[in-house]
């Protein structure tokens, strides 16, 4: 379900981001607590979204007291690192706003690590606003985890609301899973991605006040160069502190096709709502079909309605598995993943597993070895990613080059149309690799934690 569009400037905002020392405010318990936290610089204290609900204190007044390694940027600084938000640095656009690539280093802010960044600017006439921006700052500014995207800093200046994140080289899962051209994601890569996302959700749910993500979907799962996954876009998340605000909890927000049935019907929002959304994404990984597409001749049926009845039937399971995998997967792993998706997609929230159980179920699947060998390939983008370029097998590149030259000699007169030329150009910018080649290049580190690798190496010595 798409968020309701509104202009954040028309809202009565709970806080002001611009310091105003002359403004008189009425002290509330929430404000007193925040002022107390601002003085406790030695030991950061946890702050929740509800602490801001009745406060007029500025976020900039006390941000350093509880945010972890977060930098405050001016709008001019962000314009400089993105070259004036140039179209050449444009990465994409979501519900929050447009995203641009930039680069920061110590010369911009003292102690700032030199690195590429993703700069996300709030679209003022979009469907999200100040509350969503604030949620990202509060949640990602305090929670750090290998499977949560790292928030580097923010800008809150006049009408501008901007967030600065670490740059994720491979973009989001949606682009890889549903791409029209190129090879499909290998089975083990899919398991690695969904396991990382599961660990991110588990971490959020284990907080003292569980953080409900509320918008788990492929486009919010970002991928690094080695396909490590991180959750992003926390604008719709809540830390469980909004329970007293019935207008907030009962207002259904999120994306169509991923929301839990009890949330859609009654506005009941719990961690089990995230588990249902996780089950939808897991089903998408198994089938390579989108959650809201129409299936077969039965109109109006979603992916869950169409595929869930077949998840527990071994005879029908093969019919819904992504055909582009061409059987190159662990049969046992597929069955276990399908059974897990079936449980997560239960209509009864109490019948769904916790994210801790989900992680424990997925981890063994990553190490199953009953995968058929064959010519199954996946696509490695070369341009702009030095790390990936370094692992390219020379023999593979040579074969691709020779085949291209051979085709040019055989069909010299058959000039492609303008549309086909663009498609061929995109294909030539990629190199083809098998799952086996990836193992040879990166070793088991692609799919196994570093500690496990070290232990195995010790045993082999």
Annotated binding site for ATP: which residue ranges?
120
State how far the Cα of 7 lies from the Cα of 97, in Å rounded to an integer. 13
CA angle 118, 119, 123 (to 5 degrees): 135
Token readout for 257 is: 């096709």
State how far the Cα of 205 lies from the Cα of 212, in Å rounded to an integer. 7
State how far the Cα of 332 lies from the Cα of 344, in Å rounded to an integer. 19
Q: How many CB atoms lie within 10 A of CB 196?
A: 21
CA angle 91, 95, 100 (to 5 degrees): 20
Of 408, 324, 336, nearest to 374 by C-alpha is: 324
State how far the Cα of 18 lies from the Cα of 401, in Å rounded to an integer. 57
Half-sphere exposure of 294 (CA within 13 A, CB side): 5
At how many degrees (to 10) do helices 187-205 and 331-344 cross?
30
With tokens 């070793």, the residue in question is 443
Of 268, 185, 280, 266, nearest to 223 by C-alpha is: 185
- Within 124-254, residue ranges assigned H as helices are 130-140, 173-177, 187-205, 246-249
State how far the Cα of 192 lies from the Cα of 442, in Å rounded to an integer. 14
Token readout for 313 is: 């039937």
State how far the Cα of 98 lies from the Cα of 276, in Å rounded to an integer. 28
State how far the Cα of 295 lies from the Cα of 261, in Å rounded to an integer. 20
Please state the length of the chain. Answer: 461
State how far the Cα of 138 lies from the Cα of 52, in Å rounded to an integer. 10
Q: How many CB atoms lie within 10 A of CB 391?
A: 17
Active site residues: 215
Check: CB of residue 221 under 8 Å from CB of residue 389. no
Strands 377-381 and 221-223: unpaired
Write out the binding residues: 120
Output b/e per residue, 304-343; b: 16+ Cβ within 10 A. Answer: bebbbebbeeeeebeebbbeebeebbbeebbebbbebbbb
């Amino acid at each position: 379900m798409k968020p309701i569009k509104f202009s954040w400037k028309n809202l009565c905002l709970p806080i002001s981001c611009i310091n105003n020392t002359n403004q008189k405010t009425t002290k509330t318990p929430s404000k007193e607590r925040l002022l107390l936290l601002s003085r406790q610089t030695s030991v950061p204290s946890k702050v929740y979204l509800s602490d801001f609900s009745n406060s007029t204190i500025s976020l900039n007044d006390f941000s350093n007291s509880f945010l972890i390694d977060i930098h405050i940027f001016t709008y001019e600084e962000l314009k400089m690192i993105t070259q004036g938000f140039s179209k050449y640095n444009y990465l994409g656009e979501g519900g929050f706003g447009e995203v641009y690539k930039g680069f920061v280093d110590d010369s911009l802010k003292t102690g700032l690590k030199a690195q590429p960044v993703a700069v996300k600017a709030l679209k003022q006439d979009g469907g999200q606003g100040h509350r969503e921006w604030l949620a990202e700052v509060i949640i990602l500014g305090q929670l750090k985890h290998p499977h949560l995207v790292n928030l580097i800093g923010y800008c809150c200046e006049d009408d501008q609301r901007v967030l600065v994140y670490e740059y994720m080289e491979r973009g989001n899962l949606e682009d890889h899973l549903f791409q029209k051209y190129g090879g499909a994601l290998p089975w083990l890569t899919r398991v690695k991605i969904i396991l990382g996302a599961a660990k991110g959700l588990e971490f959020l749910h284990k907080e003292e006040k569980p953080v409900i993500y509320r918008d788990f979907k492929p486009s919010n799962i970002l991928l690094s160069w080695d396909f490590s996954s991180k959750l992003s876009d926390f604008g719709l998340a809540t830390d469980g502190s909004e329970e007293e605000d019935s207008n907030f909890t009962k207002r259904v927000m999120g994306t169509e096709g991923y929301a839990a049935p009890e949330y859609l019907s009654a506005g009941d929002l719990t961690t089990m709502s995230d588990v249902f959304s996780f089950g939808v994404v897991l089903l998408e990984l198994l089938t390579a079909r989108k959650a809201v597409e129409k299936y077969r001749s039965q109109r109006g049926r979603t992916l869950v309605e169409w595929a869930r009845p077949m998840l527990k039937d071994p005879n029908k399971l093969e019919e819904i598995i992504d055909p582009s995998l061409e059987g190159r997967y662990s049969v046992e792993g597929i069955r276990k993943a399908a059974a897990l998706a079936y449980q997560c997609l239960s209509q009864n929230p109490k019948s769904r597993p916790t994210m801790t159980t989900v992680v424990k179920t997925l981890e063994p699947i990553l190490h199953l070895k009953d995968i058929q060998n064959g010519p199954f390939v996946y696509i490695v983008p070369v341009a702009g990613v030095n790390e990936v370029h370094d692992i390219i097998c020379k023999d593979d590149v040579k074969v691709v080059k020779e085949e291209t030259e051979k085709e040019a000699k055989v069909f010299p007169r058959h000039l492609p149309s303008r549309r086909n030329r663009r498609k061929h150009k995109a294909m030539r910018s990629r190199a083809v690799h098998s799952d086996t080649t990836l193992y040879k290049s990166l070793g088991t580190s692609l799919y196994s934690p570093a500690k496990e690798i070290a232990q195995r190496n010790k045993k082999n010595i």
